[in-house]
Amino acid sequence: MTPDEMGDALSEMPGKRYVIDSLSSVIRKEGVDAAISLIKNHGGMITQDGGAILFLMYDNVHPPEDEIAVIRYADVYIHLIDERHGNEIERKMEIAKIKNANVPSRLFPYNITDEGIDLSTTARVV
């Protein structure tokens, strides 16, 4: 699907919440400028009406300058990190950008459950 077709599909869908999987596919097929256009033109249209759109972008797929260009146009940038320790997976969320707000200075542990993502927001005192 081209970015224009994706934008047309978004404008025809009912609802206020959207997930696009993935912006990485758009960048690889159409280039970073097409991805930025999708964010600016269609993402802005949805958020203006009180909606939310989540664009997924995968790590280690794009040159750093393409990632930076996309991040510049995002209102919020969240980086999901997973580390493997033997047979255990430790998942952390980094909130790296929030438009017009300060970002938290820590990582938030999370787990994936049947109901969705369980985010731990409590801090431990040692």
Q: Enter the pTM of the model.
A: 0.75
Tell me the HSE value of 124 on the side-chain side, using a 13 A CA sphere: 5
Sheet holding 108-113, edge to edge: 76-85, 88-98, 108-113, 116-119
The pLDDT value given to residue 115: 87
Low-confidence ranges of the chain (pLDDT < 70): 1, 3, 11, 13-15, 122-126
Model pLDDT, residue 6:
72
* pLDDT at site 5: 74
| Paired strand residues for 81 | 92
